[in-house]
Amino acid sequence: MRSLNRMRRSKNRPKLARVNPSGRMIRRVSLSGSHRIDRYGYGPLSSLLRAFWLRNGYHTTMTQAATASEPTTEAKTHKPLLEVKGLKTYFPIRTGLLQRVTDHFKAVDDVSFSIGEGETLGLVGESGCGKTTVGRTLLRLVQATAGTVTFEDQDVFAASGSELQQLRRNMQIVFQDPAGSLNPRMRIASIVGEPLIIHGLVTDKSELRERVESLLERCGMPRAAADRYPHEFSGGQRQRIGIARALALEPKFIVCDEPTSALDVSIQAQVINLLMDLQEEFGLSYLFISHDMAVIQHVCKRIAVMYKGKIVEEGSREDIIKSPQHKYTQSLLSAVPEPNPRKTKQRIVFDGGAM
């Protein structure tokens, strides 16, 4: 019985190194036996050495060297605010009556990119390719399987306590679905003011009210909207409320997860213009996620194309549009409607063959 249990346990163990957000050592079982590893997959000795290097500047010098040796397009002019390296997010696939983990779905598979201060990186790709999962993983809303995210030289996955609270203030998200992301039971004043209360930034009621109203006003909403409920607003107005909430903590970086995909074309333009104005005013950096190449072209100077969990191509807007290298990028661009009715465009269909 004991050996059967042991067999079951070893069968159920995920083959991947489990992420250990606390930074404590955990055990990994492989063919050669059981090993103690830390959250980066290092053994006890390597873990100690890494801690030593981190304390003595090894990590920062390596990061600077890597940035200097990869002066890709916009990164030349922008200091990296966010660096993502080898990010992987695998979801367990459970089967059978006992719902055992038999495999993993690779939603994000070895994704790396960096975003400079005041820069917008466009992440474009078909539905289900893992764009939202990238955004959620780097904000720690989904647990990463592997990889590192560094925000202002700080390891996001290792942060805890006050460091994590500070990171949460600086990194915000505007969700894909404006209706689903706002609590229908809360008034707009509570929705927008909640982050300010949680982070203890405002304690005085009248000051809170003033902050909420001025945020709403800045996002093109009437001040009186504060007393109403989300269902009383249109999709575009709800997205403005979502943006006001994301801005409440004065973040430096916002993941804009398809902020316009649920809106009609005229409202899309208003919301995009609002985001661009706010970026100029507050010096914000965006990871702008969309499946619409036309929107991405308008908003972003640097574009990363994602396909089946991987970034297949990254470059400046001009490079990607004028000379797309990957077949999938070519097919995405050929799907953008041509405004001139006299011009015809050859539609390229990518069958998912060679990556």
Ligand X SMILES: Nc1ncnc2c1ncn2[C@@H]1O[C@H](COP(=O)(O)OP(=O)(O)OP(=O)(O)O)[C@@H](O)[C@H]1O
**Residues that bind ligand X in the complex, under the rule CB under 6 A:** 91, 105, 107, 125, 127-133, 176, 291
Q: Are 188 and 241 in contact (CB under 8 A)?
A: yes
Cα distances (Å, whole numbers) of residue 190 to 174, 209, 222, 226, 230: 17, 9, 16, 8, 11
- Which residue in 186, 166, 67 sits closest to 116, CA to CA? 67
Nearest approach, Cβ of residue 237 and Mg ion (Å): 22
- Which residue in 317, 324, 313, 326 sits closest to 295, CA to CA? 317
Number of Cβ atoms within 10 Å of the Cβ of 65: 10
Cα distances (Å, whole numbers) of residue 169 to 123, 195, 286: 23, 9, 15
Nearest approach, Cβ of residue 186 and ligand X (Å): 25
User: Could you tell which of Mg ion, ligand X, none binds residue 245, using a CB distance below 5 to 8 A set by kind?
Assistant: none
Q: Closest CB to ligand X among 92 and 220?
A: 92
Query: What is the distance between the alpha carbons of residues 76 and 70, in angstroms, rounded to a whole number?
Result: 9
User: Could you tell which of Mg ion, ligand X, none binds residue 291, using a CB distance below 5 to 8 A set by kind?
Assistant: ligand X
Q: Closest CB to ligand X among 103 and 163?
A: 103
Q: 231: which DSSP letter?
A: G
Nearest approach, Cβ of residue 268 and ligand X (Å): 15
User: Could you tell which of Mg ion, ligand X, none binds residue 130, using a CB distance below 5 to 8 A set by kind?
Assistant: ligand X
Query: What is the distance between the alpha carbons of residues 221 and 207, in angstroms, rounded to a whole number?
Result: 19
Q: Closest CB to ligand X among 128 and 352?
A: 128
Q: Closest CB to ligand X among 179 and 186?
A: 179
User: Could you tell which of Mg ion, ligand X, none binds residue 148, using a CB distance below 5 to 8 A set by kind?
Assistant: none
Query: What is the distance between the alpha carbons of residues 41 and 261, in angstroms, rounded to a whole number?
Result: 38
Nearest approach, Cβ of residue 282 and Mg ion (Å): 25
Nearest approach, Cβ of residue 166 and ligand X (Å): 27
Q: Closest CB to Mg ion among 132 and 268?
A: 132
The residue whose two tokens read 């807007």 is: 317
- Which residue in 75, 226, 87 sits closest to 147, CA to CA? 87
Residue from 114, 132, 172, 237 touching Mg ion (CB under 5 A): that is 132
Nearest approach, Cβ of residue 262 and ligand X (Å): 11
Q: Closest CB to Mg ion among 73 and 133?
A: 133
User: Could you tell which of Mg ion, ligand X, none binds residue 105, using a CB distance below 5 to 8 A set by kind?
Assistant: ligand X
Nearest approach, Cβ of residue 258 and ligand X (Å): 6
Contacts of 76 (CB under 8 A, 6+ apart): none
Q: Closest CB to Mg ion among 123 and 248?
A: 123
Interacting residues toward Mg ion by CB under 5 A: 132
